[in-house]
Amino acid sequence: MLKALLPRAPLVALALLAPALGALAVACGSNDDQAAEGQVRVVTSLTLFADFVQHVGGDRVEVTALVPGDADPHTYEPAPSQVAKVSKADLVVINGLGLEETLHDLIYNNVRGDVPIVEMTEGLPIIGGDNHTDGEEHEHESGNPHLWLNVQYAMHYVEKIRDGLIEVDPAGADAYRANATAYLEELDALDKEVAATMESIPPERRKLVTFHDAFPYFAERYGLEVVGVVVESPGREPSARELADLIDQIRAQDVPTVFAEPQLNPQLLETVAEDAGVTVKTLLSGTFTSDVRSYVELMRFDAQQLVEGLGLPQ
Ligand SMILES: [Zn+2]
């Protein structure tokens, strides 16, 4: 009797498990290409913006960033496989001001007609507008796109995300408002923290030379001066004349340190630093690293690098 029963037991167990396994398989399958029941599918450009969306949306949203966390957003070429993400989105969140130029066709050719596209910089004061007339037929909005590096402007981004989520998912309005309020408080404290850190640098040393022109809003908010950049726009190499002028500026203004960015080739900047006799530190303008995986961490990392590079030696 026992002999007959024992071999059977696993079979019985398997039979009982089978429906559960089936259900699990279905759930996994649906997770691959669509959000769980009722989740709002949000598509954004930078991984950094996905961090904003996740803070506001919580578990009501499934967010996808089209640009990997370590890639340069200005030159990133999207993969054809990303079409499905865009065509299933309930909400699209972008920076605007040409930051998403390489993603423009992917987004606008594939997004469903009734899906809102939120431009987070809308309504904010833009630095350096209308600076290129390249003779193209379609108009590009112009101006420096890196507004998120002023934490007060990043708070505006978060408000735009909150309003966009409420528009497409009114049932979640209370949750989105509560999440946004908590995150905005955290960002407000971060803004003050960064400002205090920058104030610890002697005013005459608050001078920025960066790889690309990503820090005018940061400089404006936190009292630094942008002395120069190595490349005016990513993908365009500076001339020997421009590099020589930059080196002259660094020397003339006693700039102590110049700042590289991990997603961009450091060679040019290292040459500049060597010729000018200054040190090189790193700033993150919009990418994450293995150690920096959120917007708050990014701003703290930058503030720390600036204080180490520009502050008086301890
Ligand atoms: Zn940039």
The CA 96 to ligand 1 mean position distance, Å, reads: 12
Q: What separation in Å is there between the alpha carbon of 261 and the centre of ligand 1?
A: 10
Instruction: Report how far Cα 121 is from the mean position of its chain's Cα atoms.
Output: 13
**Cα separation, 25 vs 97, whole angstroms:** 43
pTM reported for the whole predicted model:
0.85
How confident is the model at residue 24, as a pLDDT? 37
CA of 102 to the centre of ligand 1 (A): 13
- Euclidean distance between CA atoms 209 and 219, whole angstroms: 11
Measured in Å, residue 16 CA sits from the centre of ligand 1 at 56
> Could you tell me the two tokens for 302?
């930058």
SS3 63: strand
Task: Say how many Å lie between the CA of residue 67 and the centre of ligand 1.
Answer: 13
Please tell me whether residue 72 adopts helix, strand or coil conformation: coil
| Sheet with strand 61-65: strands edge to edge | 61-65, 40-44, 91-94, 117-119
Neighbours of 109 (CB within 10 A): 10
Partners of residue 105 on adjacent β-strands: none
- Give the integer Cα–Cα distance in Å for 241 and 209: 17
Distance 284 CA to ligand 1 centre (A): 10
Residue that has been written with the tokens 């409420």 in this structure:
166
CA 94 – ligand 1 centroid, Å: 14
Please give the distance, rounded to the nearest whole angstrom, from the Cα atom of residue 17 to the centre of ligand 1: 52
What pLDDT sits at residue 273?
Answer: 94
Give me the pLDDT at residue 86, please: 98
Give the pLDDT confidence score for residue 141 in this predicted structure. Answer: 67
**pLDDT per residue as tens digits for the range 2-58:** 444 444 444 444 344 444 433 333 333 334 445 567 899 999 999 999 999 999 999
Q: What angle do CA 303, 306, 309 make, to 5 degrees?
A: 150
CA distance 114 to 207: 46
pLDDT at position 37, please?
Answer: 75
CA distance to 48, 103, 262, 263, per residue, from 68 (Å): 10, 13, 14, 11
pLDDT at 7: 40
Q: Which amino acid is at 80?
A: P
Taking 50 as the threshold, does the pLDDT of residue 70 lie above it? yes
Report how far ligand 1's centroid is from the alpha carbon of 74 (Å). Answer: 6
Ligand 1 centroid to residue 21 C-alpha, Å: 47
CA of 37 to the centre of ligand 1 (A): 36
Between the CA of 175 and the centroid of ligand 1 the distance, in Å, is: 32
Distance CA 226, CA 235 (A): 20
- Cα(34) to ligand 1 centroid in Å equals 31
Instruction: Output phi, psi for 141, to 5 deg.
Output: -70, 140
CA of 47 to the centre of ligand 1 (A): 14
Residues 62 and 36 sit within 8 Å (Cβ to Cβ)? yes
Dig out the tokens for 153 from the structure. 């402007």
Asked whether the predicted pLDDT for residue 118 surpasses 50, the reply is yes
Q: What is the pLDDT of residues 283-297, one digit of tens each?
A: 999 999 999 999 999
CB atoms within 10 A of CB 70: 12
Q: Output the CA 285–ligand 1 centroid distance in Å.
A: 6
Say how far apart CA 221 and CA 214 lie, in whole Å: 13
CA of residue 250 to ligand 1 center, whole Å: 22
Q: How far is the CA of 169 from the centre of ligand 1 (A)?
A: 32
214 Cα to the center of ligand 1, angstroms: 5
Residue 263 token pair: 């997603």
Closest CA relative to residue 90, chosen from 108, 68, 117: 117
pLDDT of residue 236: 79
Higher pLDDT, 9 or 69: 69
Taking only the tens place, the pLDDT of each residue in 221-280 is: 999 999 999 988 777 788 889 999 999 999 999 999 999 998 888 888 899 999 999 999
* Digit-coded pLDDT (tens) for 166-216: 999 999 999 999 999 999 999 999 999 999 999 999 999 999 999 999 999
* CA–centroid distance, residue 215 to ligand 1 (Å): 9
Contact present, 128 and 111 (Cβ < 8 Å):
no
Using DSSP, state whether 276 is helix, strand or coil: helix
Say how many Å lie between the CA of residue 72 and the centre of ligand 1.
Answer: 8
- Residue with token string 């990503």: 214
What is the 183 CA–ligand 1 centroid distance (Å)?
24
Six-digit token string for 152: 């007060």
Structure tokens at 208: 């920025």
